[in-house]
Chain A
Amino acid sequence: MSILAIDTSNQALGVAILNEEKIIGEFTTNIAKNHSLRLMPAIEQLMKEVNVEPQSLEKIIVAKGPGSYTGVRIGLATAKTMAWALDIPVVGVSSLKVLAHQGRFFQGYICPFFDARRGLVYAGLYQLKNGEIQQVWDEVNIPITDLLSKLADENKEILFLSPDIEIHRENIISLVGGRAVIPEMAYHISRASHIALAGLNETPQSTHALTPNYLRLAEAEAKWLNQQKEKEENG
């Protein structure tokens, strides 16, 4: 029996296939090209290559964000629908947690993040504990400077992992200083096999109930909620 792992939540498109907990195939691109167009052909091609039929899948693991709203939905629509059709479980894992797995031998804190534009980032803080990647803080959507000042107070080395590392490198070095560790480029792009790793031991949710991890309200909704609040305050 095999497991399919999918990630379209950010620029990288990743697909991996596991067989009896062994990775037998992996596909990753890191280019700004249409996920909607390319995801299914990538899955089809890889499954053909490793000789796995859709019916022999036993589980699907998908990166559920944060990231590009559209990208996250492409992955989830595909994973949920395929799992439903095959009547197999689907597991959604945080895209930040997936990235954190790429630093799993680091002894300090691991800080994966994605640029969220206008100075904001989606970020998490993780650490290796009892052989597992565990969350230190809840994932946040905050200004990078706020994130870094918070981290500057921690008395630990911090490994920064992000496909957008270059945008924020200077800020990290100036605010966190010598305790910031920034690895080479290969560690900043989520590999699909790490999605599988991150989701392997998680309990599947109900397929219908699996929703994206946006970490942010839709703009219209945030505005509307603010208006409601103002109305209430003004009686």
Chain B
Amino acid sequence: MKKDTFILGIETSCDETAVAIVKNGKEIISNVVASQIESHKRFGGVVPEIASRHHVEQITVVLEEAFTDAELTWDSIDAIAVTEGPGLVGALLVGVNAAKALAFAKQKPLIGVHHIAGHIYANRLQNEFEFPLLALIVSGGHTELVLMNEHGKYELLGETRDDAAGEAYDKVARMLELPYPGGPQIDRLAKSGEVTIDFPRAWLEQGSYDFSFSGLKSSVINTIHNAKQRGELLSNEDIAASFQESVIDVLTTKTVNAAKEFQVKQVIVAGGVAANQGLRSALEEQFNQLNIPLLIPPLHLCTDNAAMIAAAGTIAYEQGRRSGMGLNANASLLMK
């Protein structure tokens, strides 16, 4: 009988200090996330220096909790997986150096993991993968379409050329004076609004799977500004609904096109924006019609966590990939 594999995951790429232990890449044994959102709220967004300060204060506390929850000892741990990038460099550094210290102290293999690979593998904690699969990753930091033909191999089909989808949400929310984080607020407002404004959609070149949201963001800002100058009052609900419609239209259409072109067996959605109700129902409708299974993890696995890093790290571990003590944080790590 094959022995079970236990991987310790560490994630500190943005504003969550997270540690998790995952069994066989599929089963969460413990999953601790110390969110800093309350601290960053006063600044209206994540401040990198503040995030890094919190990480160094939290890291051993979160590690200890992950082991206490798991009721496991170090003997069971096969390897340590850590987010090496992309993300905020100062924040990543804390996790990477903590992981290296653990790997050395406990003489365990070390594995650097790409943050987006983690987001994709969050889904494997719920459902086994079937290849080829297509992953749409949308969050405050990313908007990406990734094709996978086998475990551990990632082909980047498209990404944003300017703002991430979640970033556009946050900026529009700030214009509407909604509290931080703005994404869920817009989603909520959009439900009771109507699509009354035809905001632009950036399709880019024919067949491109890249995204662009900065034009849309500017258009929303201009529309609000012009209305104000004319003394008109636009309803926040309608702006939210119209903005959201434009984002979802582009995300859904490009995902559907890619799913068809590569004849994928599964479509995976990941990242914080995967929690968006509007996006979820639009994708569900499309992929129901196409009869392609659509997998969206529960909210706590959509947002940044370490279980996803441990899950992606498990595959890398099984494939024999190892990082050395020279592992470093890489803010703009490419996907391979």
Residues of A within 8 A of B (CB): 34, 36-41, 43-44, 54, 69-70, 73-74, 76-82, 84-86, 207-208, 211-212, 214, 218-221, 224
CA distance A207 to B106 in the complex (A): 17
Nearest CB on B from A2, distance (A):
13
Q: With an 8 A cutoff between CB atoms, is B100 at the interface?
A: yes
Q: Is the CB of B105 within 8 A of A73?
A: no
Check B96 for interface membership: any CB of A closer than 8 A. Answer: yes
Chief secondary structure at chain B's binding surface: helix
Q: Which of B49, B61, B326 contacts A220 (CB 8 A)?
A: B49
* B104 close to A (CB within 8 Å): yes
Distance in angstroms between the alpha carbons of A155 and B52 in the assembled complex: 42
The minimal Cβ–Cβ distance linking B2 to chain A, given in whole angstroms, is: 27
Q: List 18 A-B contacts (CB under 8 A).
A: A36-B96, A40-B100, A54-B106, A69-B52, A73-B56, A73-B97, A77-B56, A77-B59, A77-B95, A77-B98, A80-B59, A81-B97, A81-B98, A81-B101, A84-B60, A212-B56, A214-B53, A218-B53
Q: A36-B93, A69-B49, A77-B94 are in contact. Are A224 and B105 (CB under 8 A)?
A: no
**B93 engages A37 (CB within 8 Å):** no
A205 to chain B minimum Cβ distance, whole angstroms, is 12
- The CA-CA distance from A44 to B326 in the complex, in Å, is 11
Known: A81-B59, A81-B98. 17 other contacts (CB 8 A): A37-B328, A39-B97, A41-B324, A69-B52, A70-B52, A70-B93, A73-B52, A78-B98, A78-B100, A80-B56, A82-B102, A84-B64, A211-B56, A212-B53, A218-B53, A220-B50, A221-B47
Q: Which residues of A contact B95 (CB under 8 A)?
A: 77
Is B318 positioned at the interface, with any CB of A under 8 Å from its CB?
Answer: no
Q: Chain B residues near A84: list those with CB within 8 A.
A: 60, 63-64
Looking at chain A's contact residues, the main secondary structure is helix
B325 touches A41 (CB 8 A): yes
Question: Residues of B contacting A41 with CB < 8 Å?
Answer: 324-326
Nearest A-chain residue to B99, judged by Cβ: A81
| Chain A min CB distance to B96 (Å) | 7
- Chain B residues 119 to 143 lying within 8 A of chain A, measured CB to CB, are none
Chain B residues with CB below 8 A from A212, complex form: 53, 56
Chain A proximity mask over B216-249: 1 for CB below 8 Å, otherwise 0: 0000000000000000000000000000000000
